[in-house]
Amino acid sequence: MSRKILIVDDDLKTRTLLKAYLERNQYDVRLAPDGETFLSEFERYKDELSLVILDVMLPDTDGFALCQTVRKNSNVPIIMLTASSDETDRIVGLELGADDYIAKPYNPRELLARIKAIHRRTGIETGSGTGRYYRFVGFTLDTVERNLMSPDGDVVKLTGLDFQLLKMFLEHPGQILDRSQLAEETRGRDAGPLDRSLDVQVSRLRQRLEDDGKHPNLIKTVRGAGYVLSAEVTISHV
């Protein structure tokens, strides 16, 4: 798996220190000081990237706009850097397709831990005893190519977070999964009682599956308990 990361941040000192720190941990890091440079570098390296890191505040645009552009063209995982403690920024980023967020100022070790967690969750697993294909209500999830095929034969775009969340539901059909389980599996940390990020992620996955958010038939909310996938799932290697 590629370990190439593209980072956009307008602060030269931050970029330089972050590049040096991540390269000491065996990552290939590309930097951009603004949105225009980032888009140019993204177009050049998008097939090689394993992750992009977007600062929300930039001189010529913002990280949200870049997140939208990236997500329209790629399923590469995205981490957002935000100087705001406002939960709204985090939710907006997740709704636009980001996989994680971290508030400034941050410890580089925490960012590294988030990067490693995303790479563990989105990397292709080898030596697994489970099958490659998960089939449910006409959909087929290919866990090697990380593609979801709709009942009509169309490819449904999934972010890394969408994929991990869906795979967890498919591995536990009919079981109630509580919020802590889902948050720990998909984001590597617990969801606090006021953290609505997980609910945003589930809502986004329902949209991908064309599951009615108000009256869902596939991923159902169990009040006070969590969520449950209400579907029969078959697993196979072919």
Please enumerate in sequence order all residues whose Cβ is within 8 A of that of 117, keeping only pairs 6 or more positions apart, or say none. 100, 187, 188
CB 50 within 8 A of CB 4: yes
* pLDDT recorded at residue 26: 86
Q: What is the largest CA-CA distance in the chain?
A: 52
Its pTM surpasses 0.75: no
Over its length of 238 residues, how does the chain's per-residue pLDDT go in tens digits? 468 999 999 999 999 999 999 999 889 999 999 999 999 999 999 988 989 999 999 999 999 999 999 999 988 899 999 876 667 777 888 888 898 889 888 899 999 988 988 887 765 333 344 578 999 999 999 987 888 999 999 999 888 888 889 998 998 899 999 888 888 777 665 555 556 778 888 999 999 999 987 889 999 999 888 999 999 999 887 7
Token pair, residue 7, equals: 């980072």
* pLDDT recorded at residue 12: 94
**149 phi and psi angles, rounded to 5 deg:** -105, 130
Q: For 189-223, give the DSSP string.
A: SPPPTT--HHHHHHHHHHHHTT--SSS-SSEEEET
Residue listed under structure tokens 């990380």: 146
Token pair, residue 171, equals: 């591995």
Task: Name the 3-class secondary structure at 38.
Answer: helix
**139 phi and psi angles, rounded to 5 deg:** -85, 150
Cis peptide before 105 (omega within 30 of 0): yes
* pLDDT recorded at residue 127: 38
d(CA 105, CA 226): 32
- Go through 143-167 and write b for each residue having 16 or more CB atoms within 10 A of its CB, e for each that does not: beebebbeeeeeebebbbbbbbbbb
Task: Name the 3-class secondary structure at 142.
Answer: strand
Please enumerate in sequence order all residues whose Cβ is within 8 A of that of 57, keeping only pairs 6 or more positions apart, or say none. 10, 63, 83
Residue closest to 209 by CA, chosen among 145, 148, 121: 148
* pLDDT recorded at residue 119: 81
* pLDDT recorded at residue 124: 33
Domains, the chain, ordered by start: 4-122 (3.40.50.2300), 133-236 (1.10.10.10)
